[in-house]
Structure 1
Amino acid sequence: MNIGVVSEGKSLDSQVSEKFEKCVCLLIVNMNDLSITAINNDESSGENLTNEILKYDCEAVILGNIDKRAFDILADACVTRYYGVGHSVKKALELMKKGSLKLIKNHDGTNDCSGHHH
């Protein structure tokens, strides 16, 4: 199973990025062996990052704030979104496995769920 994590660096010790579109890189983490594929972010748009998440068939993504278009693409593809700001990538992955990370239900980060996706 692959999990995408937007981060400020290329290692498990890097911090989860506060802004999806402005992250330094996207880490694709294979949860079976914790191997990492690091994809540099050119910051041109969140759409490039969402395409990589879908290309690697990620079941979930750990991130911070996200714009509406990128959120909708991920939600429509049934990619679960978790809020992991304030944690290292490694810690956020551990918390996700325990069910302790907050689900991101909409692009503005509130608990309201508008639209057809969750």
Structure 2
Amino acid sequence: MLGAFEDGKLTAFLWYATSDRLAFMLYGGTNDASRESRANFGLTWYAIRRFKEQGIEVLDFNGLLNDGISRFKRSFGQRDDHLVGSIDVAFSPLWSVWNRLLPTAKTVLRRVKGQRPSKDENEH
């Protein structure tokens, strides 16, 4: 895991799994302030340099989305490789309940706190 901090608070993070020659981005995230400053871009560049120093030959950014991060990811490669996507496997019968209720619970909690729901939450 790699993190970017501002005033001692985590503002962006990237989580990678690595082997001798491959680094695979599992997940990343930002808070609202670092989303605007694009702190994750600098953090990604740091990761790239660090992996290169370690001799890692392939960095898999874990897919493209339809937003600014995709343009950023594409700027490092000469081609897009299209692979089979991720598959979620629910090991518990409660997963579908959790998966439906979590976005609703987050929206309710943010409204109670007086915050506006994020764009992602409005899509659920």
TM-score tier by shorter-chain length is 0.3 to 0.5
Q: Which has the higher helix share?
A: 2
RCO greater where, 1 or 2, for CA within 8 Å and sep 6 or more? 1
TM-score by length of 2: 0.32
TM-score by length of 1: 0.33
Larger Rg: 2
